[in-house]
Amino acid sequence: MWQAEHVRERLTILYPQCDVKIVGMTTRGDQILDRTLSKVGGKGLFVKELEVAMAEGRADLAVHCLKDMPMELPEGFLMAAVLEREDARDAFVSNDYASLDALPAGAIVGTSSLRRQALIAARYPQLVIKPLRGNLDTRLGKLDRGEYAAIILAAAGLKRLGLAARIRSLLDADVSLPAPGQGTLALEVPLRDDGLDLVSILAPLHHTPSALVSIAERKVSQVFGGSCQVPLASYATITGDQMHLRAMVATPDGQRMISAEARGPAESAEALGLQVAELLRAQDAVGILSACLSEAAQADDDARSAELAADAAKPPGNA
Ligand SMILES: NCc1[nH]cc(CCC(=O)O)c1CC(=O)O
């Protein structure tokens, strides 16, 4: 809601004559909170319900966390704008400790991200990682009730909700390389021929450097199946007109971990993404990810079967 409100405010400043309405809705990703995302399955868990609303003309655009968007949008939809990136880093949140380094052996760290799990397990094998899902309040509540010594969250989410004070330290990219698109909002629109040129209307919100880094980061992920169900990190920065892209692939336990990087003109974002993906492939990225990829495929299948079963259970004519 904060994100939708943010976009509404920016559009209202740009187009004071427009009345921008928010259609609030929850998605499967918001609803299923008892399983880690990698086990929920189905790509675009936070996206699909919003696409249905756009297809039915109940909404003209959707505000997403780019991190949650599938690499390929379904036919009939377009990513119209990528907003300027917020802090892309992961944040360390704890009531008792200042940083990962300060945690004693056996301390419980909460995260449901396979990427964060792998990165922490590799560097801090003495720590215990426990799943943690739910919205920010839920997650912080679990920390405050003492279920975890510390939790890892995206800094961007905390900052957006005015909770930056909860951040004890920010994890450097060489400790916790961010996920593709982390900290970035994106606007998705339906391709409709009703004369409303949403792409031009939203163009003033588009931030080209953020879009370029997201293209490079997401390309790496796309090459390896593109989902939030594998321990893959990919993070690009731009200095002048040069891009630096780093990526990492690991097993969930952090036992095997490979990384690659490349530099080149920011304009060649996609080529840089492909280049880094090939460097990872040459180090057996597919082999390292294979256990996760088959688990993810299984979760996808389960999600699809559940969807089909739900559709079959609906009374006829009530699609
Ligand atoms: N998958 C959940 C999700 N999607 C985007 C964010 C954070 C905000 C962002 O990266 O823009 C989060 C929560 C988290 O990682 O703590």
Continuous H helices in the chain:
2-14, 28-31, 37-40, 48-55, 114-123, 136-144, 155-160, 198-202, 208-223, 269-281, 285-313
pLDDT, position 291: 75
Using the mean position of ligand 1's atoms as its centre, give its distance from the Cα of residue 156 in Å.
8
pLDDT, position 317: 41
pLDDT, position 211: 98
Hey, where are the domains in the chain? 2-86+180-296, 90-170
pLDDT, position 249: 96
Residues labelled catalytic: 68
Tens digit of each residue's pLDDT, the chain (319 residues): 899 999 999 999 999 999 999 998 877 766 666 666 556 555 566 678 889 899 999 999 999 999 989 888 999 999 999 999 999 999 999 999 999 999 999 999 999 899 999 999 999 999 999 999 888 999 999 999 999 999 999 999 999 999 999 999 999 999 999 999 999 999 999 998 877 899 999 999 999 999 999 999 999 999 998 765 789 999 999 999 999 999 999 999 999 999 999 999 999 999 999 999 999 999 999 999 987 777 766 766 776 676 666 666 655 443 3
Q: What number does the ligand 1 atom closest to the CA of 160 have?
A: 8
Calpha distance 28→23 (Å, rounded): 16
Using the mean position of ligand 1's atoms as its centre, give its distance from the Cα of residue 143 in Å.
17
CATH number of 2-86+180-296: 3.40.190.10
Q: Say whether the ipTM exceeds 0.90.
A: yes
Site to substitute for ligand 1 among 67, 207, 221, most atoms within 8 A of C-beta: 67
**Is the C-beta atom of 182 inside 6 A of ligand 1?**
yes
pLDDT, position 300: 67
Site to substitute for ligand 1 among 66, 176, 182, 230, most atoms within 8 A of C-beta: 182
Using the mean position of ligand 1's atoms as its centre, give its distance from the Cα of residue 65 in Å.
7
Which residues have a Cβ under 8 Å from the Cβ of 23 and sit 6 or more positions away?
A: 53, 58, 59
**Is the C-beta atom of 153 inside 6 A of ligand 1?**
yes
Q: Do the domains 90-170 and 2-86+180-296 match in fold?
A: yes
**Is the C-beta atom of 216 inside 6 A of ligand 1?**
no
Calpha distance 8→22 (Å, rounded): 8
Kind of pairing, strands 108-110 and 128-130? Answer: parallel
Using the mean position of ligand 1's atoms as its centre, give its distance from the Cα of residue 122 in Å.
22
Q: Three-class SS of residue 70?
A: coil
What superfamily would CATH give domain 90-170? Periplasmic binding protein-like II (3.40.190.10)
pTM as predicted:
0.89
pLDDT, position 39: 60
Q: Whose CA is closest to 211, among 69, 310, 115?
A: 69
Calpha distance 41→135 (Å, rounded): 18
Q: What number does the ligand 1 atom closest to the CA of 181 have?
A: 10
Both tokens assigned to 62: 């959707």
pLDDT, position 194: 79
Query: Residue 239's CB: how many other CB atoms inside 10 A?
Result: 9
